[in-house]
Amino acid sequence: MALKSLFAASAFALLASTAHAGDVRIMWYSDGIEGEVFQDLVNRFMKENPGINVIVDNVAYSVIKEQLPVQLEAGNGPDIARVTAIKDLAKHWLDLRPLVADAKYWDENFGANADWMRPDGSNQISGFMTQLTLTGGFANKTLFEQANVPLPGPKATWDEWAAAAKKVAQSQQIPYPMAMDRSGHRITGPAISNGANYIGKDGKPAPLDAGAKGFLGKFVDWSKDGTMSKDVWVSAAGQSYRAAADDFINGQVAFYYAGSWQVPNFAKKIGTNFDWVATGSPCGPAACTGLPGGAALVAVKYTKNAKEVAKVMDYLARKDIVKEFSERTLFLPAHKGVIAEGVNFKTDSALVKEALNTFVNATKTTSDLANKMPGWRWSDTMYGAVVTRTAQAVAGEMSKEDAFTRIDSDVAEKVKASSL
Amino acid sequence: MSSPSHTPPRTGQLKPKTDWSSVVLAPVHFIMGLADRPLRLLQKRAGIGGMAAFFLAPNMLIFGVFVLLPIIINLIYSMTGGSALFLSERSFVGTDQYAKLFDCKSYLDPMSCQEDAFWTAVGNTFWFVVLQVTLLILFSLITALILNRELMARSFWRAVFFFPVLLSPVVVGLIWKWILQRQGLLNFALYPMGFEPYTWLSDRTFAFAAAVGVSIWAHMGFYTLILLAGLQAIPKDLYEAAEMDGTKPARIFWRITLPLLMPNLLVVVVLALIRAVQVFDEVFVLTGGGPGTSTLFLTQYIYETGFVSQPRNAGLAAAASILMGLVLVVLTLVQLGIGRKNENKGKR
């Protein structure tokens, strides 16, 4: 009898520790409150589909960036993941086309960004964008008002913003006039506005041109003369990402260049401490563009439950679900039907509504090259080299010219190494 | 096999007690009884040497799977290229990764090297080891000497110095980051004295000094404890005799304490060296390797190259880790040599 109980207990332990057929595991990261909203939507799915057990693993963004790619390379990983390196990892995504209920619905509503997340030349349905993002600026309106400095207009250039922010910083005794996230993605929009063209004729990375060198050089100079906060850029080595959002939230900078994903974060953390506005992207000689991007929910091809995965994806891509997710999380939707119908963001804050509208309007000035970047295979390679070497120049370890030479040689080396 | 001897029951007890040890050991005796015959048979066939190999096999198997095999796999990775993870999908490049690491016009100028970050990390690690180990040993020795004296609340002070060793490296890094950042405790304390807030960790020299200092703070307790044990093992009569002869305290330290503490000191030096070469966690949390690359050390370089950079270069990271491993092997051999020397001295 005792032996039987022992066997029964062992069998139960074994079952509890292994995934059941019908389990769908989702690796999810959150910038703000979207994890709670997502879990709520998933719970509703499980009520509608009692045979499918969806497990949401909430992880830090660094896990998505650093550990998930290794898991995928090893042929493991979750069934579904929320990712930002969507093109770079495209070979690991499952083709949902034969599995979803209505492939036409997916093409119609998510087709505009489908190429960002599939291998070049295929018509694969890998997933959908949970949010569209656009890089852009934020200004501390209260600080500008207190300093009696008018906010630069929508066509204002980077130089005009720098001059205005400097006046505010001087008057209000804040440490830095401007700040930008330590990210190659963030600095690329302004470089494109300055005339940069990263993509060569052969589709591979082109050496830095005058436009790119112009803005990167200006950024280094601003960091050295105190116009731009250098703290965030020198706070790490290599390609590590660091956000400067806390400096803006704490009222330590007058102008912060980040992107639309910060709107819910600011709404929650700044509250009524001060007034802030989204400004769109300042202009350069070539454009006034931000860089689009976002997070996608993609199915992983190593799943053992492809049918269940497709069912979950079908549910999450439903128009009413996408609409609810966007309205509750304050994220810009990527669903064509939802955009056409309009989104009623669930917020009482006029600041938030105005900021979201600014970003929606800013999409109209996004340049063609900026729109190409998320779907370009080498964008992460380029961003990595740019952020590593620019940060070294900001820290005073090398000259701007040396940094430019190193960016070109680093990228060339990576392109060569990847062809091995 | 001889049967285990039993202690005869004590006399004078009012009630005979159950012999719990024999109850607990009964299953062991039963299993040993079962194994007795096959083991005898094995010994007959394999001999005494064979039996030693038989008993060592489980340990060797664990060592082989979890230590030796990863080293071999790492060595193979260091001779492959590409961004794929599986060896079968990677191309053999021979010693190219090593050649890339050593491609330098001058090893003293990292910027003249193809992999400048590697040589910057090597240089940083070298200076870190020199500074951290020297200061660590110095502070640990001074602390141990103080804690070895008759102090009030001596146990309390020993606990105070040992406490940081119990903290996780991430916690250590975060605590000091909160102290040293622009809106941190240090600036908060200095501001009333008229000092403007300063971003300490954005200053290249200070960030390096902070990395050394924090690492010393975090590990000093462990080495202090070893040295304290060594100090307590020195016979007291030597000090008494020196005192009776009127020897000065400094002379006592140089002629009695230091020579007799030398075996412990050498072990501490080698252990601290090995630990310093591997520096990563607390400094990674504290400075992230910055500003620029001024606190980028070898382990972080390997981690960044293999896991963070786009596209990942596992081959180059493996080659760098093999080179670092060689340094650690040399240090470990030194430690083993010292250990054996001490053992022989003890036997004499």
Tokens encoding A384: 């990595």
Domain with A385, as residue range(s), is 134-292+350-418
Mean pLDDT on A400-416 = 93
CA dihedral of residues B230, B233, B236, B239 (deg, nearest 10): -30
* A3 inside domain: no
* A14 inside domain: no
What is the bridge-based pairing of β-strands A127-140 and A80-83?
unpaired
Mean pLDDT on A105-115 = 93
In sequence order, the 6+-apart residues with CB closer than 8 A to the CB of B112 are: B104, B105, B106
* A160 inside domain: yes
User: For residues B293 and B120, is the Cβ–Cβ distance under 8 A?
Assistant: yes
* B97 inside domain: no
Question: Is B300 close to A237, i.e. CB distance below 8 A?
Answer: yes
How confident is the model at residue A17, as a pLDDT? 41
Reported as a single tens digit per residue, the pLDDT across B6-44 is 555 555 555 556 677 778 888 888 888 888 888 888 888
Task: Say yes or no: A247 and A379 in one domain.
Answer: yes
Of A341, A375, A404, the one marking the end of a domain is A341
A62 → chain B, closest CA residue: B308
A137: three-class secondary structure by DSSP: strand
* A5 inside domain: no
Name the pLDDT band for A18 (thresholds 50, 70, 90).
very low
Q: What percent of chain B has pLDDT over 70?
A: 93
Task: Residue A240: list chain B partners with CB under 8 A.
Answer: 288-289, 304, 308
* B200 inside domain: yes
Domain with B218, as residue range(s), is 122-301
How confident is the model at residue B1, as a pLDDT? 40
Reported as a single tens digit per residue, the pLDDT across A274-329 is 999 999 999 999 999 999 988 999 999 999 999 999 999 999 999 999 999 999 99
Res A268 pLDDT > 90: no
Task: Say yes or no: A124 and A184 in one domain.
Answer: no
Of A312, A341, A370, the one marking the end of a domain is A341
Task: Say yes or no: A414 and A288 in one domain.
Answer: yes
Question: Residue B252 belongs to a domain with what CATH number?
Answer: 1.10.3720.10
Task: Residue B81: list chain A partners with CB under 8 A.
Answer: 417, 420
**Residue B292 is nearest to which of A66, A242, A392, comparing CB atoms?**
A392
Task: Residue B292: list chain A partners with CB under 8 A.
Answer: 234, 237, 391-392, 394-397
Tokens 């509250």, located at residue: A271
How confident is the model at residue B291, as a pLDDT? 93
| Nearest chain B Cα distance for residue A323, angstroms | 34
Check CB contact of A395 with chain B, cutoff 8 Å. yes
Q: Count of H helices and E strands in chain B?
A: 14, 2
Task: Say yes or no: A186 and A231 in one domain.
Answer: yes
How confident is the model at residue A420, as a pLDDT? 55
Name the pLDDT band for B87 (thresholds 50, 70, 90).
confident
B120 → chain A, closest CA residue: A397
Specify the number of domains making up chain A.
2
* B58 inside domain: no
What's the whole-number average pLDDT of chain A? Answer: 90
* B37 inside domain: no
How confident is the model at residue A345, as a pLDDT? 86
Task: Residue A250: list chain B partners with CB under 8 A.
Answer: 183
* Residue B257 falls in which region: left (phi positive, over 0), alpha (psi -120 to 50) or beta: alpha
Between helix B154-166 and helix B116-147 the angle, nearest 10°, is 160
Looking at residue A306, its amino acid is: A
**Residue A231 is nearest to which of B82, B93, B202, comparing CB atoms?**
B202
* Residue B250 falls in which region: left (phi positive, over 0), alpha (psi -120 to 50) or beta: alpha
DSSP string, A216-232: HHHHHHHHHHTSB--TT
**What are the C-alpha distances in Å from A21 to residues A53, A95, A304, B295?**
9, 20, 8, 48
User: For residues A121 and A103, is the Cβ–Cβ distance under 8 A?
Assistant: no
Q: Between vectors from CA A58 to CA A55 and to CA A63, what angle results, nearest 5°?
A: 120
Mean pLDDT on A190-219 = 96
Q: What percent of chain A has pLDDT over 70?
A: 95
Task: Say yes or no: A75 and A121 in one domain.
Answer: yes
Check CB contact of B310 with chain A, cutoff 8 Å. yes
Looking at residue B270, its amino acid is: V
Check CB contact of B74 with chain A, cutoff 8 Å. no
Mean pLDDT on B147-164 = 88
DSSP string, B163-194: HHHHS-HHHHHHHHHHHHSTTSHHHHHHGGGT
Check CB contact of A402 with chain B, cutoff 8 Å. yes
* A41 inside domain: yes
Name the pLDDT band for A339 (thresholds 50, 70, 90).
confident
Task: Say yes or no: A106 and A213 in one domain.
Answer: no
- Report the alpha-carbon distance of residue B194 to residue B190 in Å, rounded: 7
Question: Is A237 close to B293, i.e. CB distance below 8 A?
Answer: yes
Nearest to B127 by CA among B228, B245, B250, B277: B277
Res A183 pLDDT > 60: yes
Mean pLDDT on A151-170 = 96
* A410 inside domain: yes
For residue A81, give the H/E element and its range.
strand A80-83
Question: Residue A186 belongs to a domain with what CATH number?
Answer: 3.40.190.10
Task: Say yes or no: A182 and A320 in one domain.
Answer: no
Check CB contact of A240 with chain B, cutoff 8 Å. yes
How confident is the model at residue B298, as a pLDDT? 96
Reported as a single tens digit per residue, the pLDDT across B40-66 is 888 888 888 888 899 999 999 999 999
Residues for chain A: how many in total?
420
B181 → chain A, closest CA residue: A231
Reported as a single tens digit per residue, the pLDDT across B274-284 is 999 999 999 99
Name the pLDDT band for B346 (thresholds 50, 70, 90).
low
| Nearest chain A Cα distance for residue B196, angstroms | 10
Q: Which of residues 223-282 of B touch A (CB under 8 A)?
A: none
Check CB contact of A62 with chain B, cutoff 8 Å. no
Task: Say yes or no: A222 and A303 in one domain.
Answer: no
* B87 inside domain: no
Q: Between vectors from CA A355 to CA A353 and to CA A356, what angle results, nearest 5°?
A: 65
What's the whole-number average pLDDT of chain B? Answer: 89
Mean pLDDT on A99-118 = 93
* A242 inside domain: yes
B100 → chain A, closest CA residue: A413
How far is C-alpha B49 from the geometric centre of its chain's CA atoms? 34
* B177 inside domain: yes
Res B334 pLDDT > 80: yes
Name the pLDDT band for A35 (thresholds 50, 70, 90).
very high
Task: Say yes or no: A175 and A263 in one domain.
Answer: yes
- Report the alpha-carbon distance of residue B82 to residue B315 in Å, rounded: 8
* B143 inside domain: yes
How confident is the model at residue A245, as a pLDDT? 94
* B30 inside domain: no
**Residue B67, Cβ density class (10 Å: 0-12 exposed, 13-18 middle, ≥19 buried):** exposed
Question: Is B199 close to A70, i.e. CB distance below 8 A?
Answer: no
Number of Cβ within 10 Å of residue A205's Cβ equals: 22
Reported as a single tens digit per residue, the pLDDT across A371-388 is 899 888 899 899 999 999
Check CB contact of A237 with chain B, cutoff 8 Å. yes
Specify the number of domains making up chain B.
1
Mean pLDDT on A135-152 = 97
